[in-house]
Amino acid sequence: MVCLAVILPGLTANSAQTKEAMLDGVVRAIAENEPEWQGGKVHSMPGTPDPDRFRGTLHDFEWKRKDRTATLATVQIFYGDSEEDAVRMLEWSQMILSVNESEPLENIGERAYQYAKNGNSWITFRKGKIFADISVSLVDLRYADKASLPMLDLTVEARETAKRFAQHVANQI
């Protein structure tokens, strides 16, 4: 997913500490609850304020399974300038994911969607001013038989892993 993010122009020290505490909490929660995964924050993407773009900052995280080579979990957290920015980001993501027939998901954030197929799973959700995109890939599709029984099992595992990661993120907001 490609996201354009903009830095929050009037960020105060208190809101920055709150945001950083939330982001640090995400890394800590995943490290404590998902010990077979290693990784953390990759980078943040500030931009130039523009009224035609989503106003906020995008933070990227990446984890890999210690015991498997072709595994990756990515988390993108968009910390919006307003709740409306997070709503717009979720709507924008649904335009992209609707091609993949994503489905509503209950009990994560205020509004959430999921999609899982071929050993991969995506969850997008919004909670307050936060939009999160969680992607879990447990297989390298270049070398996989998409119709095999193990692929179906990997898809279920990817979906459950994505749900756990999404819940860890939602619990920190």
Q: How far is CA 121 from CA 16, 44, 102, 125, 154, in A?
A: 31, 23, 10, 13, 10
pLDDT at 12: 33
**Which pLDDT score is estimated for 6?**
32
CB 122 within 8 A of CB 133: yes
Q: Two tokens at 83? A: 């709740």
The model carries a pTM of 0.80
Q: Tell me the CATH number for domain 13-172.
A: 3.40.1000
Report the distance separating Cα 1 and Cα 76, nearest Å: 9
Cα–Cα distance, 122 to 18 (Å, whole number): 27
Range 133-158 burial, b when 16+ CB lie within 10 A, else e: bbbbbbbeeeebeeeeeebeebbebb
| Residue ranges for the chain with pLDDT beneath 50 | 1-15
How far does CA 71 lie from the centroid of its chain? 15
* Local structure of residue 6 (DSSP, 8 states): B
- pLDDT (0 to 100) of residue 3: 38
**Of 122, 120, 168, 2, nearest in space to 112 by CA:** 122
pLDDT of residue 97: 61
